[in-house]
Structure 1
Amino acid sequence: MNKDIKSIAIVRLSALGDIVNSAVVLQFIHEQFPHAKIDWITEEVFAPLLQAHPLINNIHTVNLKKLKKQKSFTLLKETITYLNSLEKFDIVIDIQGLIKSSIVSRIISKNTHGFDKNSIREPLASLLYKTSSSIAYDENIVKRNCFVVADALGFEIDDKMLLNKSAVFPHATYPHAKSDKKNVVIVIGASWESKKYPKEDVVKLCNELKQNCLIIWGNEEEKEDGMWVCENSQYAILAPKLSLVELISYIGSCDLLIGNDTGPTHMAWAQNIPSITLFGPTTTRMIYETPKNIGIKSPSEVDIFKIDKNDFSINKIKIETIVEKAEELLNGF
């Protein structure tokens, strides 16, 4: 381990769930390098999630989505100039492993570390790293994130450390309404339609649970679906509009979260809240399962090297199975 490292940059540009699952490394880096400054480079839209983190020295943002959409040479030049202006870090670690993230990393510094060509979705990205790590692409995503960081810095993050982790994000207590019922957050939205559990089944789930089922939403379409669920179940309650920071507190103050493979669902694991993640076109590889954070996979076969976004098998997950696991978790296993 190189204890002379004083400045570290983490590159994880997107998406929400991936940033949540990557941020766990901060506490382990700090344990090994308590005096090192840790900066994070991310897409502008996700900066608020990391803004108040006590272990992050600075957050640097890019807007690659805007750059791709506008195809502006001026914006490209401004982005490169900004990245070149950052301090020269002792090491830059690209957790994302895409060509875009490797380019960002290399602009910042030549002393970059990432996944090798056999461990990465876009092998060309590995050409821009000075050093690299080898780990199977189909390995658990949280373990991959931890391994590439720990390997770059010369220490190990093991299962015991992950099972005993502190909450990943600081958060305030959210004042859920006082009730004799448990507060169960239910995530209904996702980036892919095939990841969503049918709203009709969400209604049945709420009616079976008979708890305060708090339906969170992130856009108007999800809000409409959430309102429909609330209109059809006396146990469903529509959550208020929440910022990313408020969402962390909202989830961190609940008794259980049930959701699909998406960012808010991963926040429950991050904050050490019991959770059930429902999988259709993806697999339990996307979460770090613990006794109180479990995954339920649909019967479909998944090729993680070629994800089928038309796999709607999540709707085959039985409500009884979810309710059984939920009651176990709500009753303390």
Structure 2
Amino acid sequence: MKKRILIVRTSSLGDLVHMLPAISDIATNVPGVQIDWIVEEGFAEIPAWHPAVHEVIKVAHRRWRKHWWAAQTRAERAALRDKLKSRQYDIVLDMQALMKSVWLVRQTNGLRHGLDRHSAREPLASFFYDVKHSVNFWQPAVIRQRQLAAAAFGYTYAGEPDFGLRAITDGVRIQPYAVIMPSASRDDKLWPQADWHKVFARLGEHGLALRLLAGNEAETRRAQALAAGVAGAEVLPRMNLNGIAGVLAAARLMVGLDSGLTHLSAGLGRPTIGIYKASTPVRTPLEGPSYTASLGERGNAPSAETVLSAVEQALAYQDPALAAAEEHSGLEIQPDALFNASGGPGEGA
């Protein structure tokens, strides 16, 4: 008999990427499991990429809160409530522990698991769970999520994180370009233009073209200003997450600010360098099966020299994806075909 599980984690992009190894652990350790996942509509591709996820249930908090009492919003909220009330789950696991996720959990049928008040980001959320778990707060998010899932389902996880993204990476041939993410959700995360240009010059010396990502008009203008006059630099049009994932999967490496797309690159197994300036890598370091470097700290951005050193290490890394591409040279992705994909969020977490 299948064990029906509902995962509640709606956002943000990087946080959802950090969730994927816990989903792999559940699928490995819970026999006959069927996993549904509630997620913000703009990030619905992420759980859909994982082969163990049965159904993605969309919520639209970000859109609804702008017009909470509009007739369409009320109708959509009612439809979601009816869908959740019609399902019986063995376990409902809130892996976000915020009052906005509790609002969803309270509409479900099933034994409700979540973090205790000492572990939750919003302690009040813990009062709405039937079973509460203690997970140390100050540790990497991937480990934290794996520990919470293991506690909820009574197993001990083992091995390196498995992001379950082979549907994107299988058969991809690595191309001679670097992806650059010079924007993030907050302006205080930005890195100086002169430092970016030093990195661009070094990547050019290695024969790599540059593909700059941008998710909105302001980010596009910033990327265009950075790319101006740089040979081989191209600012990509806004794409949906499927298109961006394809571009990242075929990149030689990525250098980006602490954004959701940088974390996605690491999860896809690409050599990835993250620049931290207004956030700490203690809780959200880059995690993935290839080379990663999480550089800087809140209030202390890494120097250009530090990033350049990481670039050299990333390029010297014996990348399994490159070896696979050489062995299966007939399998090739054409990233240019993906650059025309439109819609969806391109911003960071």
With normalisation by structure 1, the TM-score equals 0.85
- Structure 1 contact 140–288 (Cα < 8 Å) conserved: no
Is residue 29 from structure 1 mapped to residue 14 from structure 2 by the alignment?
Answer: no
Q: CA deviation at 1:80?
A: 4.6
Q: CA deviation at 1:273?
A: 1.2
Q: Counterpart of 1:121?
A: 121
Alpha-carbon distance between aligned partners in 1 of 2:280 and 2:96, rounded to the nearest angstrom: 19
Alpha-carbon distance between aligned partners in 2 of 1:85 and 1:140, rounded to the nearest angstrom: 34
Q: Which runs of 5+ in 1 are unaligned?
A: 303-310
Mean Cα deviation higher: 285-294 or 6-15: 285-294
Q: Counterpart of 2:231?
A: 234
Q: CA deviation at 1:295?
A: 0.7
SS in 1 for 2:254: strand
Q: Percent same amino acid at aligned positions?
A: 27
Within the candidate set 316, 331, 346, 1:331 is matched to 316
Q: What are the equivalent positions in structure 2 for 1:179-258 lying under 5 Å apart?
A: 182-210=176-204, 211-258=208-255
Between 1 and 2, higher relative CO (CA 8 Å, sep ≥ 6) is seen in 2
Q: Deviations over 1:112-146 (max 9, x none)?
A: 11111001111110011111111222221111111
Q: CA deviation at 1:287?
A: 2.0
Mean Cα deviation higher: 48-57 or 106-115: 48-57
- Structure 1 contact 24–168 (Cα < 8 Å) conserved: no
- Corresponding pairs, count: 309
Mean Cα deviation higher: 34-43 or 116-125: 34-43
Q: CA deviation at 1:325?
A: 1.1
Q: Deviations over 1:18-66 (max 9, x none)?
A: 1111122222211123521111101111113333542211111111123
- Structure 1 contact 116–132 (Cα < 8 Å) conserved: yes
Q: Counterpart of 1:274?
A: 271
- Structure 1 contact 11–105 (Cα < 8 Å) conserved: yes
Q: Deviations over 1:234-270 (max 9, x none)?
A: 2423234321011111111112111111110001221
Q: CA deviation at 1:77?
A: 6.4
Alpha-carbon distance between aligned partners in 2 of 1:209 and 1:250, rounded to the nearest angstrom: 17
With normalisation by structure 2, the TM-score equals 0.81
SS in 2 for 1:233: coil
Task: Give the aligned residue type for 1:98.
Answer: L
SS in 2 for 1:232: coil
Task: Give the aligned residue type for 2:99.
Answer: I
Q: What are the equivalent positions in structure 2 for 1:49-198 lying under 5 Å apart?
A: 49-72=46-69, 74=71, 75-76=73-74, 78-86=76-84, 87-158=87-158, 160-162=159-161, 165=162, 167-168=164-165, 170-171=167-168, 182-198=176-192
Q: Deviations over 1:69-105 (max 9, x none)?
A: 2131753464255234331111111111101102201
Task: Give the aligned residue type for 1:13.
Answer: T
SS in 2 for 1:136: coil
Alpha-carbon distance between aligned partners in 2 of 1:250 and 1:174, rounded to the nearest angstrom: 10
Alpha-carbon distance between aligned partners in 2 of 1:166 and 1:281, rounded to the nearest angstrom: 26
Alpha-carbon distance between aligned partners in 2 of 1:215 and 1:170, rounded to the nearest angstrom: 24
Q: Counterpart of 1:296?
A: 295
How big is the alpha-carbon RMSD for the aligned residues of Structure 1 and Structure 2?
Answer: 2.3
Pair 1:137–1:71, CA change in 2 (3 A): same
SS in 2 for 1:242: coil
- Structure 2 contact 20–164 (Cα < 8 Å) conserved: no
